[in-house]
Amino acid sequence: MGYRSDVAYVIHFDTIEHRDNFITLMHAKNEEPTNTALTEVQYKYGNHPIITFYQEGWKWYDSYPEVQAHHALMRDAEKLFGAEWRFVRVGEDAGDVQTETSHDVNYDLWEYVDPVNSIRVDFPAQDAE
């Protein structure tokens, strides 16, 4: 059966163009785990230059190629585009909460992923341009 976790992350780019260029670049790698990860994320949120991921009951083991691909998306976005990210994993055991952030993470990203209320991915209201 295995140990299962609820997992979420958000990657925040400076612009929608940076986000879309990143997605295109990751597709160009043409690597199966990366391609699968790209089908599991959400990235079409109008004025929000973000990528989000949320899954309940996953076997989130660092040795799995699929998990490595999701972590690589966060690292590559930061390295290639200066994106900020926040990751949260809530396991089955009480108190098993893991959080990670990019080195420059903006406090606003805490609004997207919040482990206090299990895992929540919210999108703040944006004024129409």
The C-alpha atoms of residue 126 and residue 122 are separated, in whole angstroms, by 12
Token reading at 97:
């909460």
The predicted-structure confidence for 50-105, as pLDDT tens digits, reads as follows 898 988 899 999 999 999 999 999 999 999 999 989 898 888 888 888 888 887 66
Burial bucket for residue 74 (CB in 10 Å: 0-12, 13-18, 19+): buried
> CA nearest 4: which of 87, 64, 91, 62?
91
Confidence label for 121 from pLDDT (cuts 50, 70 and 90): very low
pTM of the predicted protein model:
0.81
Q: Is the pLDDT of residue 39 over 80?
A: yes
Domain limits of the chain?
A: 5-117
